[in-house]
Structure 1
Amino acid sequence: MRSKKSQAVLTRLKQITGTTSDASLSSALKISPQTLSSWKGRDSTPYSLCVDIAQARGISLDWLLLGEGPVLRSAPAQSAEENQDNATRENTILALWRLLNEEDRRAIQHALEEKRRLRDMELQLSEMAAILATLQQSKET
């Protein structure tokens, strides 16, 4: 990819990898700092890398490459049968929810929020492990 917007793409890559510096971005992308420096010097970011990251993380390429639209890719279209199954499941859950007392509802909400927080932490941990592995590899060479 070659454009004046390459710096903006690198900034968005930092956002989705949770990094703040070029060194940490290069670690997260599993590339050398020299490679990242080269991209910046040429005002170029490899399109294939952007596609791979977007696919792996469910990120919209429009947002990653152009800064336009939503960050997350929209879910693929579902069949009418899948939509009906989802609606039935949601209605069942809602009916069960309404049968609960307020204390139970709060407990379930808390558990769901905790699960989301743990999932976010697991993602951060895996990214940190990748950075650590890259740093260890570079230290060995």
Structure 2
Amino acid sequence: MDKKSAAAVLDRLHTVFGVKNDSQLCEVTGVNRPTMGNWRSRNSVPYPLCVSVAEEKGVSLDWLITGEGVMDRSHRTNEDDALLDDPLERSILTLCRSLDEEAKRDIQSVAQEKKRLSDIEKQLTKLMLALADIKRPA
């Protein structure tokens, strides 16, 4: 797929909003489904939407429209610098950047699910400790 096609741009919009399909993208952007379908079928890039999303979400308009450069237009933080110092995270980032948008969304989805499960495990541990405190004889 051409990185500058309407489909590629819409796929990057999926990434920005963390959605999996056009219906979800329509919901978060307020665009009606037939309009989005027309963009895809006519290979018409929604430039006004891209500009407003870039402004609102702080993403690079160049990246959103062309797929070139980095997604986030904000300045790097100390945390970002720390990521570059960690060989494992640098390796993961390099691999991720080599993938197409669909593969990146798949990885994002798996990582979000892993994070959700980790958070649930932490909550469960806290609840088990609280329950054990309640059951202890005074």
Q: If the length of structure 2 is used for normalisation, what is the TM-score? A: 0.50
Return the TM-score normalized by structure 1. Answer: 0.49
Q: Which structure has more RCO (C-alpha within 8 Å, separation ≥ 6)?
A: 1
